A = this chain, B = another copy of it.
Amino acid sequence: MKIEVKKNILATNSAMAAENHQRLEDHDVRMINLMASPGAGKTSVIMQAIEHTRDRLRLAVIEGDIASEIDSLAIEAMDIPAIQINTDGGCHLTAVMIASALDHLDLDTLDLIIIENVGNLVCPAEFDLGETARLVIASVTEGHDKPHKYPMIFRQVDAIIVNKIDLLSYCDFDLNHFRRTVRDLNPDVPIMELSCRDGFGVGEWRRWLEASATAGPIDLKS
């Protein structure tokens, strides 16, 4: 007998993700699953999102980390509801964890929830959380070869942020090479260049967020 552990885990997760998705739709809330390597700048990108859309969108943040509360405390300091999930060694968030976080948010008072997944370019890509959009951040300091090496995550996202663009001239990051590789995997995905330090690209990031948050009825993804 072969025990299909992984298949069963993913099937159970998908069922719970569909429940999360329906719950968001019932309350007319959108939810972004933000994924990236450790240190790519996820929290800074979320803080930019808060700063530049808080007058138009009602936001909440779900912070996924193996350990520590550093990130949720930073978000709470901006007067935004923040739920910290500590996975205690787990390498990704699951739909069950998100269901539990949603229990702690008043969905009727929100337009958009941003989930900061655990810093990892591999495992989070396999676990649907019930989100309405997926985003990956690649920072220029990581090198332009990431889409070659982690194709799954780049193939499935709805948008890509190239972060720390202010460091471009100090790195060997070839933006054209990166864009070409992404195009082969995910032809129409928007690629936004951003610097959380000097504000370059913040307008494009804000517009993408507003469009995501005000999109029509949520379609359940296949």
Q: Are A91 and B65 in contact (CB under 8 A)?
A: no
Beta-carbon nearest neighbor of A65 in chain B: B149
Interface range for A: 35 or more
Q: Cα distance A126–B150 when bound, in Å?
A: 21
Q: Looking at the complex, which one of B119, B141, B149 makes contact with A167 (CB distance below 8 Å)?
A: B141
Q: Are B89 and A91 in contact (CB under 8 A)?
A: no
Contacts of A65 in B (CB 8 A): 149
Binding site of A, secondary structure by majority: helix, strand, loop or mixed?
A: loop
Contacts of A121 in B (CB 8 A): 38, 119-120
Contacts of A150 in B (CB 8 A): 38, 66-67, 119
Asked if A149 meets B3 with Cβ closer than 8 Å, knowing A37-B37, A91-B120, A142-B39, the reply is no
Q: Are B142 and A38 in contact (CB under 8 A)?
A: yes
Q: Contact flags (1/0) for A118-144 with B, using CB distance below 8 Å?
A: 111111001000000000000101110
Contacts of A151 in B (CB 8 A): 66-67
Q: Contact flags (1/0) for A35-50 with B, using CB distance below 8 Å?
A: 0011110000000000
Question: Is A152 an interface residue when CB atoms closer than 8 A count as contact?
Answer: yes
Smallest Cβ distance from A147 to chain B, in angstroms?
10
Beta-carbon nearest neighbor of A67 in chain B: B151
Asked if A66 meets B3 with Cβ closer than 8 Å, knowing A37-B38, A38-B121, A142-B39, the reply is no
Question: Is A180 an interface residue when CB atoms closer than 8 A count as contact?
Answer: no
Q: Cα distance A68–B148 when bound, in Å?
A: 6
Residue numbers of A with Cβ under 8 A of B are 3, 5, 37-40, 65-68, 70, 89, 91, 118-123, 126, 139, 141-143, 145-146, 148-152, 164, 166-167, 170-171
Q: List 20 A-B contacts (CB under 8 A).
A: A37-B38, A37-B39, A37-B119, A38-B121, A38-B142, A38-B146, A38-B149, A38-B150, A39-B139, A39-B142, A66-B150, A67-B149, A70-B145, A91-B120, A119-B121, A119-B149, A119-B150, A167-B167, A167-B170, A170-B170
